[in-house]
Amino acid sequence: MSLKNVLENFSYFRQDAESGGTHKYEHRFGMAIDLDICTGCNSCSTACYAENNLPVVGKERFEKGQAMHWMRIERYWDEQEFEGDFAEQGAKFMPMLCQQCGAATCEPVCPVAATYHTPDGLNAQVYNRCIGSRFCSNNCPFRVRYFNFWSYYEDSWPEPLNMQLNPDLSVRDKGVMEKCTFCIQRIRVAKDTTQREERPLKDGEFLTACAQACPTNAIVFGDTMDPDSNVSKLWMKHQVQRGPFTHKKEKANEELRGYRVFEELNVDPSIMYLERVRDTEV
């Protein structure tokens, strides 16, 4: 994007997220996570460790909050149960990963443009460009950006554990911010294949590591721009749309389960959660 380009197309570039932003999207990958069938088993999180060269930080660093779990399962106890004797409705699990916001708060604060929006609708982090200012993680409402406080590669993969490292993406060094990429290396392989075979991307042709591992298939991944993809159908079914926040009450059916976490912040998250259900009769 040269200065000339910016000046010539100023009105186009200054469009805000509400008016569609300035992106020419090829795809907009998104997810739907059904909290009703998420069992909180941690399979997705471990699959993420395996796929994305995530370092194991050890007890002492975990204590300091330096764990590098791009995908974590948060567990909450029900507020009402603080009064009752027992957690009668079980626990509340929430897989939390980068929401790949359409109007991401992390992007504009990067002083070196190491985090940016890709034509696939992802908030990408260019590791070799990152200088570790950590502005982005401070600006993330979801706390899903992880900073390499140490050179983890030195002791996270003692021989021969390092043989497992995925060569499709780099091992990040100290001073670099990193985050969930929706398994961008898989996206790359899939797009290369479709390009070679000269056909559009099929729904379900590839999945993120978490979606592929999930034993209950609670995570549905796909292109939200493809109206026939499973994820689009789910978004439509639950009347969740891209773009700015619409209050539940403004929806045709306000009882539908779909919602996006912190969507009221107008960050346009790419992950729709489906509300957890509990039987009140029991």
Residue 12, burial from CB neighbour count under 10 angstroms (0-12, 13-18, 19+): exposed
Can you list the positions of beta strands (E) in 180-254?
A: 219-223
Residues 46-85 that bind another protein (CB under 8 A): 46-47, 49-51, 56-59, 62-63, 67, 69, 72-79, 81-82, 84-85
Q: How many residues bind another protein (CB under 8 A)?
A: 104
Q: Quick count: other Cβ atoms within 10 Å of Cβ 259?
A: 17
**Euclidean distance between CA atoms 164 and 210, whole angstroms:** 18
**Is residue 109 part of the contact set for another protein (CB under 8 A)?**
no
Residues 241-280 that bind another protein (CB under 8 A): 253, 255-257, 259, 261, 273, 275-280
Residue with Cβ nearer another protein (18 or 63): 63
**Is residue 6 part of the contact set for another protein (CB under 8 A)?**
no
Q: Least Å distance between CB 270 and another protein?
A: 16
Residues 155-214 that bind another protein (CB under 8 A): 156, 158-171, 175, 184-185, 188, 192, 195-196, 209, 212-214
**Is residue 116 part of the contact set for another protein (CB under 8 A)?**
yes
Would you call the peptide bond into 160 cis, given omega within 30 degrees of 0 as the criterion?
A: yes
**Is residue 112 part of the contact set for another protein (CB under 8 A)?**
yes
Residue with tokens 């100290």: 174
Phi/psi of residue 30, nearest 5 degrees: -150, 175
